[in-house]
């Protein structure tokens, strides 16, 4: 490697499923190359513009949005926004002069990777899901390497560029101590704990089903850690004030402790959530969101369910079946243990290390 510090741009975002893998990659780069300069590029108004600075990194925003499914003024402005964003991304690249660029999916990845690949800068895509995102599919032929989390991704990407790495997960996520976790959240060590998490933005179906099930949980002596998302939080906070053992949070910062406290997890089936459940070895009930491209969360969930590593409840059946299944699982320690053992077998704890290995190979090949 050269003596001068290496420079990297990491682009993308929109949801925690994009942002947290991006931060994990940056943290591994910083661990190996303390002098490396790392710049994030996101979309203005999206959650990465606050989450990335909270993680200790600089971020620049582009005025880029996705296409709506109906004719809107935003759609009419879309080509103009893309042009401006590509131009701004090009200026950023010329000023920052990165040695390599990483795209993790989301709106901001496209302009940055287009600008980088047109300048022959080494570029890597990290695809989290079992069904590839539109931006990544469009850019696949232009980039040098594509790191994926599932087998069979050659149906979306050139096979010679693929590396099966798994998803980058924050290394601390599996290190939570149960005693510390119970104290941190104010939980009773003599009661079973259910963790409900609907992704970084919350999940209406999970929130409604959970609210309806609160009397059943109290009657069964189950305590609840409930990440609601921003919209439902005011209502959930009122419910929490009226019920012992109910802990509602808008967003859980210490997910390592939340997993450590949980006996069973109810979750959407986003790629990051699935990877975290594998790494933490938690018995889980997955409720895939129906509001995602090509129903990719169901495909993510089936990758676990087919191995006997999780339980699947569809979104449409959640109101009727979710808490029947949750209470059965909470009362069956042997089944919890079976799910835990099988889901751990699917974990890829070295995913972030492998992705950074691939990134540095690209840089070395250009520098040598």
Query: Percent helix, strand, coil in the chain (nearest 5)?
Result: 50, 15, 35
Cβ neighbours around 70 below 10 Å, total:
7
Q: Is 16 annotated as a binding residue?
A: yes
β partners of residue 61: 42
Do 109 and 12 contact (CB within 8 A), yes or no?
Answer: yes
Q: Is 272 annotated as a binding residue?
A: yes
Q: Is 275 annotated as a binding residue?
A: yes
Give the integer Cα–Cα distance in Å for 270 and 19. Answer: 13
Give the integer Cα–Cα distance in Å for 36 and 30. Answer: 6
Pairing type for strands 100-103 and 7-11 reads: parallel
Q: Is 42 annotated as a binding residue?
A: no
User: Counting every residue, how long is the chain?
Assistant: 368
Q: Is 43 helix (H, G, I), strand (E, B) or coil?
A: strand
Q: Is 235 annotated as a binding residue?
A: no
Q: Is 368 annotated as a binding residue?
A: no
Give the tokens for residue 319: 């109101």
The count of C-alpha atoms lying within 13 angstroms of the C-alpha of 303, restricted to the half-sphere facing its C-beta, is 24
Residue with tokens 């990758």: 303
Q: Is 273 annotated as a binding residue?
A: yes
Q: Is 17 annotated as a binding residue?
A: yes
Do 263 and 177 contact (CB within 8 A), yes or no?
Answer: no
The count of C-alpha atoms lying within 13 angstroms of the C-alpha of 43, restricted to the half-sphere facing its C-beta, is 22
Q: Is 129 annotated as a binding residue?
A: yes
Q: Is 130 annotated as a binding residue?
A: no
Task: Please enumerate, by residue number, every residue annotated as part of a binding site for UDP-N-acetyl-alpha-D-glucosamine.
Answer: 15-17, 129, 170, 200, 252, 271-276, 297
Task: Please enumerate, by residue number, every residue annotated as part of a binding site.
Answer: 15-17, 129, 170, 200, 252, 271-276, 297
């Amino acid at each position: 490697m050269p003596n001068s510090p290496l420079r990297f741009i990491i682009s993308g975002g929109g949801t925690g499923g994009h942002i947290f893998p991006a931060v994990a990659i940056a943290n591994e780069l910083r661990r190996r190359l303390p002098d490396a300069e790392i710049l994030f590029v996101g979309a203005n108004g999206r959650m990465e513009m606050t989450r990335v600075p909270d993680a200790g990194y600089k971020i620049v925003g582009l005025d880029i949005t996705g296409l709506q499914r109906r004719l809107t003024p935003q759609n009419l402005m879309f080509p103009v926004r893309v042009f401006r964003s590509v131009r701004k991304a090009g200026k950023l690249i010329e000023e920052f002069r990165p040695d390599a660029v990483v795209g993790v999916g989301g709106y901001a990845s496209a302009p940055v990777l287009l600008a980088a690949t047109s300048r022959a800068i080494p570029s890597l895509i990290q695809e989290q899901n079992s069904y590839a995102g539109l931006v990544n599919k469009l850019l696949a032929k232009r980039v040098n390497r594509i790191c994926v989390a599932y087998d069979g991704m050659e149906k979306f990407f050139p096979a010679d560029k693929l590396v099966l790495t798994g998803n980058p997960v924050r290394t601390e996520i599996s290190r939570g101590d149960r005693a510390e976790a119970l104290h941190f959240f104010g939980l009773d060590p003599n009661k079973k704990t259910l963790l409900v998490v609907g992704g970084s933005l919350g999940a209406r179906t999970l929130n409604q089903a959970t609210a309806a099930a609160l009397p059943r949980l109290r009657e069964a002596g189950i305590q609840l850690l409930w990440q609601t998302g921003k919209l439902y939080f005011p209502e959930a906070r009122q419910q929490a004030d009226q019920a012992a053992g109910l802990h509602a949070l808008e967003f859980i910062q210490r997910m390592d402790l939340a997993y450590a406290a949980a006996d069973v997890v109810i979750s959407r089936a986003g790629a990051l959530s699935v990877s975290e459940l594998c790494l933490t070895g938690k018995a889980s009930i997955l409720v895939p969101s129906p509001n995602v491209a090509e129903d990719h969360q169901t495909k993510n969930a089936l990758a676990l369910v087919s191995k006997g590593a999780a339980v699947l409840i569809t979104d449409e059946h959640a109101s009727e079946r979710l808490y029947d299944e949750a209470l059965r699982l909470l009362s069956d320690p042997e089944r919890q243990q079976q799910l835990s053992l099988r889901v751990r077998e699917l974990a890829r704890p070295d995913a972030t290390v492998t992705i950074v290995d691939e990134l540095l190979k690209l840089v070395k090949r250009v520098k040598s």
